[in-house]
Amino acid sequence: MTVHADDLAPLPAGQLTPPVPIKGKVTRAIRLPRSPKVIAGLVIIAAFAILTLVGPWVAPYSPNDNSFAQNLHPSAAHWLGTSNLGADIFSQLLNGARATMVVGFIAGLVATVLSVIIGISAGYLGGGADEGLSLTANVFLAIPGLPLLIVLDSYLPTAGRSNTLLIGVIIAITGWAWGARVLRAQTLSVKRRDFVEAARIAGEGRIRIMVFEVLPNLLAIVASSFLFTMLYCIGTYVALAYLGVTSTSVWNWGTMLYWAQTSNAPLTGAWWWFVPPGLCIALVGTGLALLNFGVDEFINPRLRAAGLSRRGTRQAGLPRHPKLGLTPVLRSPSSRPGASAPQTQGSASGPAKVAR
């Protein structure tokens, strides 16, 4: 049996684990996450989601308002100081949240939808369709994303560069290939399950099977893929903005970094200008990655922190994950039968050390 490298359930870096197969249809209740990592991730993302929605309204000033004194340190009036043109940085940050998060979200969504369609189709339909789609995915995967985007975007006319939706879609085009490959590998294994075979024999159409039988079993992986892709899209969008490839008049965190860089903020020590946007990007990214931990553990139960329960191990003095091949022995003295058991033929009385 040939095992192609593609078939070995490759998952995004950070989730290199094959999932435990889900038996039958997915009707289990969704359990609430208890891992502290996941809860932290949820909190972070929720906070930034709120920021996305209300940011521009909550901002004290307009981000383009250059009427203030220049290069002010953070103060009560300007929480993050002002830029070298005299604009309030905090307002820029709040405004920038929207474009960054929205583009990241939409690009992630588009890329995930594309990867679902292409990946599941390639895996389920097999044959020529699979070959063609897989080749397409591999080609897109092999071409490095950022250089391609730089080339594409620099060819765009100015009008195109400020169209965030267009930029988002173009970013999505470079970001779907990975998820498609993962979903294809998973579809191949789900395809062999009995309930899919049963549906096929019952005469269900191929598209119906893909949507209603295969897809529900892959939801966790789709979720993980979405989180990872959104992370990638935000990072790429910010990078493009930082380079000045996208329009510099649209406010996002990357553009802030662009302006900060071109005004030499790092060298003049104006940390309040370039640290906050970078930090926000990092926080959003960390939140997404933490959520991904949670989805990972859901997909692959072996990764859950379970082992022996915390309380139990503390009482017993055991490590939470005992060494493989060294099953712990927790005997109370009374549980040893050696003292009172009758002698049986040929055995020593009680446990004796090995004679050397």
Partner 1 sequence: MIPLTRKLMVYVVTAWVAITVNFLLPRLMPGNPIQTMIGKLQGRVTPSMQRAIQLQFGVGLHQSLLTQYGNYWVQLFHGNLGQSITLSAPVSTVLGGTLPWTIGLLGAATVISFALGTLLGIALGWRRGSWLDGLLPVSTFFQAVPYFFLGTVLLLVFGSDLHWFPVLGNYQRGLTPGFNGPFIFSVFRYAELPAITIVLSSIAGWMLGMRNMMITVLDEDFVLVARAKGLPTRKVVSYAARNAILPSIANFSLAIGLVVSGALLVELVFNYPGVGNLLLQAVLNQDYPLLQGIFLVITLTVLAANLIADFVYVALDPRVRQEG
Partner 2 sequence: MSAAVAPVTAGGGPVNGPLHLGDPVLEIRGLCVDYGVGEDAVHAVVDASLTLRRGQVLGLAGESGSGKSTLAYAATRLLREPGVITGGEVLFHSRPNAQSGPNAVTGTADLLDLDEGELQRVRWSEISVVMQSALNALNPVASIGHQITDVLRAHRPDLNRAGRTNRAIELLEMVGITGDRLSSYPHELSGGMRQRAMIAMALALEPQVVIMDEPTTALDVVTQREILEELIRLRDDLGFAALFITHDLSLLIELADEIAVMYAGRLVERAPSESLFRAPRHPYTHGLLNSFPPMHGERVAMTGITGSPPDLRAIPSGCAFHPRCLHAMDRCSVDEPQLVPLSHGPVPAGRSPREVACWLHDPRSAVPVPEELAQPDPAGPAPDAPAAQQQEGTS
Give the interface with partner 2 as residue ranges (CB under 8 A): 1, 306-309, 311-313, 315-316, 318, 321-332, 335-338, 340-341, 344-348, 351-356
3-state secondary structure of 82: strand
CA 311, CA 216: separation in Å to the nearest integer? 37
Phi, psi of 112 (to 5 degrees): -65, -45
Alpha helices in 269-309 (DSSP H): 271-299
Q: Does 157 bind partner 1 (CB under 8 A)?
A: yes
Q: Does 3 bind partner 1 (CB under 8 A)?
A: yes
| Minimal distance, residue 243 CB to partner 1, in Å | 6
Which C-beta is closer to partner 1: that of 63 or that of 145? 145
- The candidate with the shortest Cα–Cα distance to 100, out of 287, 285, 267, is 285
Which C-beta is closer to partner 1: that of 213 or that of 297? 297
Which C-beta is closer to partner 1: that of 71 or that of 138? 138
Q: Does 169 bind partner 1 (CB under 8 A)?
A: no
Q: Does 275 bind partner 1 (CB under 8 A)?
A: yes
| Minimal distance, residue 268 CB to partner 1, in Å | 11
| Minimal distance, residue 342 CB to partner 1, in Å | 32
Q: Does 325 bind partner 1 (CB under 8 A)?
A: yes
Q: 211 with 190: CB under 8 angstroms?
A: no
Q: Packing angle between helix 89-125 and helix 36-58, nearest 10 degrees?
A: 130
DSSP secondary structure code for residue 272 in this structure: H
Q: 184 with 134: CB under 8 angstroms?
A: yes
**Which window, 47-55, 154-162, 195-203, 206-214, contacts partner 1 (CB under 8 A)?**
154-162
Which C-beta is closer to partner 1: that of 40 or that of 199? 40
Which C-beta is closer to partner 1: that of 84 or that of 300? 300
Q: Does 246 bind partner 1 (CB under 8 A)?
A: no
DSSP secondary structure code for residue 76 in this structure: S
Binders of partner 1 in range 97-136 (CB under 8 A): 135
Judged on CB neighbours under 10 Å (0-12, 13-18, 19+), 193 is middle
CA 11, CA 257: separation in Å to the nearest integer? 32
Binders of partner 1 in range 24-53 (CB under 8 A): 37
Which C-beta is closer to partner 2: that of 158 or that of 347? 347
CA 340, CA 110: separation in Å to the nearest integer? 72
Which of partner 2, partner 1, none does residue 330 bind (CB under 5 to 8 Å by kind)? partner 2
DSSP 207-271: HHHIIIIIHHHTHHHHHHHHHHHHHHHHHHHHHHHHHT-S-TTS--HHHHHHHHHHTTHHHHT-H
Which C-beta is closer to partner 2: that of 205 or that of 312? 312
Which of partner 1, partner 2, none does residue 317 bind (CB under 5 to 8 Å by kind)? none
Q: Phi-psi region for residue 108, left (φ > 0), alpha (ψ -120 to 50) or beta?
A: alpha
Q: Given the structure tokens 């502290």, which residue do they identify?
A: 36
Which of partner 1, partner 2, none does residue 316 bind (CB under 5 to 8 Å by kind)? partner 2
**Which window, 63-71, 96-104, 144-152, 218-226, contacts partner 1 (CB under 8 A)?**
144-152
Contact residue for partner 1 among 12, 123, 168, 294 (CB under 8 A): 12
